[in-house]
Amino acid sequence: MTAVEQTRHLATAIPGPNSSALIDRKAAAVSRGVGTTMPVYAARAGGGIVEDVDGNRLIDLGSGIAVTTIGNAAPRVAAAVAAQAGEFTHTCFMVTPYEQYVAVCEHLNRLTPGTGDKRSALFNTGSEAVENAIKIARSYTRKQAVVAFDHAYHGRTNLTMALTAKSMPYKHGFGPFAPEIYRAPLSYPFRDAEFGKELATDGELAARRAISVIDKQVGADNLAAVIIEPIQGEGGFIVPAPGFLATLLAWCRDNDVVFIADEVQTGFARTGAMFACEHEGIEPDLIVTAKGIAGGLPLSAVTGRAEIMDAPHVSGLGGTYGGNPVACAAALATIETIEAEGLVARAAAIETLMKDRLHRLQADDDRIGDVRGRGAMIAVELVKSGGTEPDAELPKALCAAAHAEGVIVLSCGTYGNVLRFLPPLAISDDLLHEGLDVLEAALRHLS
Ligand code: PLZ
């Protein structure tokens, strides 16, 4: 197979005739509940480009929602998947185990923050791993309650819907939700600033506000776990004020509460560290990973302190496909690629490039309220001119304009007013600049 040409190219209007035909087939065959962001159907992808079924080549600033971090169809992954598929595709680890599963767990134990004795368990999706982290925490503490945060996203299964904050589209009409889930206030510097500079910059203060809510409304004696994304993803790429996570973690340690970091979106080099917790200098009890772990194959994991991970009884954890051998082969190739190609440093370089441009854009456009994020996980929060009132229409219009010009870009945020960038680390600087040029022009045009 030849590599996808690394240029943006519009062969037809977006969508072209072949995508349009597929859009009609989808409407007739696929549940309406499954929505799509882009109006084009993919044919091939690699580097920083997704090529559609009409021969259009689009700049990829989404990585399939932070999954193909090392690049799509990355050479080591493609080769490892093909080789493993030729040997065996499944035996079920719970029936006839295989080395690849153990090897992925060894790498996770080595790579995640914390030097103590660790164990891992493998699953298929981020939601499934989050559910298992909660099961493990409950088994270890023999307590039931779980605290999640405002703006959190942890998945779409029943327990993870309960943990997720936003109603539409994730929860609306799908209740009742799992019991014993409580919500605490987050540190959201851009919005906390309305309540004073201190709260916006002092993470310890914001953590004390959350701890007070937890203490009074749940009580540590009932609380099994606190779960948090070190940088919230779907909620709007919210980076908490320094000290917020460390203060929460310290409180958890003092109160026999398991601290779970959901690094499903932030993990595996995405933020300019292998894991986002490293930026805060914290070592969570449990860490949940998925997405970037296996270059696009479905794999997820829970990793953590051995005494916690070993709390569930034998055969208390599992699932038919968890740690599928093809997905494990992809994960081993992904980890090898990150380390061999120095991709953690590449993510940090992408942060510098993007923030530099976006800050300059912000300087003469007061609709950009905030520029934030880490590594190749960068966002702009869009507001009504000069204020802080969220503007959800502008990102919609910007995304539509970018899509029509051949740039894949996504929005997010509780208020739907955040434009987020999750480029693959395999993208060139030229393509990144070109993608931002397109957005900059669209922003000017929409003023
Ligand atoms: N935890 C932090 O970001 C998935 C969801 C897209 P699954 N985020 C993308 C959508 O609209 O469904 C995510 C996440 C965090 C958990 C999950 C859930 O991971 O693999 O989608 O189950």
pLDDT tens per residue, range 132-156: 999 999 999 999 999 999 999 999 9
pLDDT in the model for residue 1: 61
pLDDT in the model for residue 241: 98
- Residue 247 CB–ligand 1 contact under 6 Å: no
Q: Convert the pLDDT of each residue in 180-223 to its tens digit.
A: 999 999 999 999 999 889 999 999 999 999 999 999 999 999 99
- Residue 155 CB–ligand 1 contact under 6 Å: yes
pLDDT in the model for residue 312: 98
pLDDT in the model for residue 447: 87
Q: Convert the pLDDT of each residue in 2-11 to its tens digit.
A: 689 999 999 9
What single DSSP character describes residue 49? E
pLDDT in the model for residue 243: 98
What are the backbone angles phi and psi of residue 318, rounded to the nearest 5°?
Answer: 160, -150
Please state the three-class secondary structure of 308-367 as a single string: HHCCCCCCCCCCCCCCCHHHHHHHHHHHHHHHHCCHHHHHHHHHHHHHHHHHHHHHCCCC
Q: How many angstroms separate the CA atoms of 204 and 315, rounded?
A: 40
Q: How far is the CA of 264 from the centre of ligand 1 (A)?
A: 7
Q: Specify the pTM.
A: 0.98
Q: Convert the pLDDT of each residue in 331-343 to its tens digit.
A: 999 999 999 999 9
**Burial of 73 per CB tally in 10 Å (0-12, 13-18, 19+):** middle
Q: How many angstroms separate the CA atoms of 331 and 31, rounded?
A: 31
Q: Convert the pLDDT of each residue in 38-75 to its tens digit.
A: 999 999 999 999 999 999 999 999 999 999 999 999 99
Q: How far is the CA of 434 from the centre of ligand 1 (A)?
A: 28
Which of 265, 268, 289, 293 has the most ligand 1 atoms within 8 A of CB, as the residue to mutate?
265
Please report, for the chain, how many H helices and E strands are present, in that order.
16, 15
Say if residues 265 and 271 touch (Cβ distance below 8 Å). no
- Residue 265 CB–ligand 1 contact under 6 Å: yes
**Domains of the chain (ranges plus CATH)?**
17-73+342-445 (3.90.1150.10), 77-340 (3.40.640.10)
Q: Is the pLDDT of residue 394 over 80?
A: yes
pLDDT in the model for residue 305: 98
Which of 153, 156, 239, 289 has the most ligand 1 atoms within 8 A of CB, as the residue to mutate?
153
What single DSSP character describes residue 294? G
pLDDT in the model for residue 230: 98
- Residue 267 CB–ligand 1 contact under 6 Å: no
pLDDT in the model for residue 397: 97
Q: How many angstroms separate the CA atoms of 381 and 420, rounded?
A: 9
Q: Convert the pLDDT of each residue in 254-305 to its tens digit.
A: 999 999 999 999 999 999 999 999 999 999 999 999 999 999 999 999 999 9
Q: Convert the pLDDT of each residue in 397-439 to its tens digit.
A: 999 999 999 999 999 999 999 999 999 999 999 999 999 999 9
Q: How many angstroms separate the CA atoms of 303 and 50, rounded?
A: 32
Q: How many angstroms separate the CA atoms of 134 and 304, rounded?
A: 12
What single DSSP character describes residue 291? G
Going by C-alpha positions, the residue among 399, 446, 255, 278 that lies closest to residue 348 is 278
Q: Convert the pLDDT of each residue in 86-101 to its tens digit.
A: 999 999 999 999 999 9
Q: How far is the CA of 154 from the centre of ligand 1 (A)?
A: 6
Would you say how long the chain is, in residues?
447
- Whole-angstrom CA distances from 240 to 35, 187, 254, 373, 381 are 30, 5, 22, 10, 15
- Residue 132 CB–ligand 1 contact under 6 Å: no
Q: Convert the pLDDT of each residue in 118-136 to its tens digit.
A: 999 999 999 999 999 999 9
Which of 34, 154, 411 has the most ligand 1 atoms within 8 A of CB, as the residue to mutate?
154
What are the backbone angles phi and psi of residue 41, rounded to the nearest 5°?
Answer: -100, 135
Work out the average pLDDT over 352-368.
98
What are the backbone angles phi and psi of residue 311, rounded to the nearest 5°?
Answer: -65, -40
pLDDT in the model for residue 359: 98
Ligand 1 atom index nearest CA of 262: 2
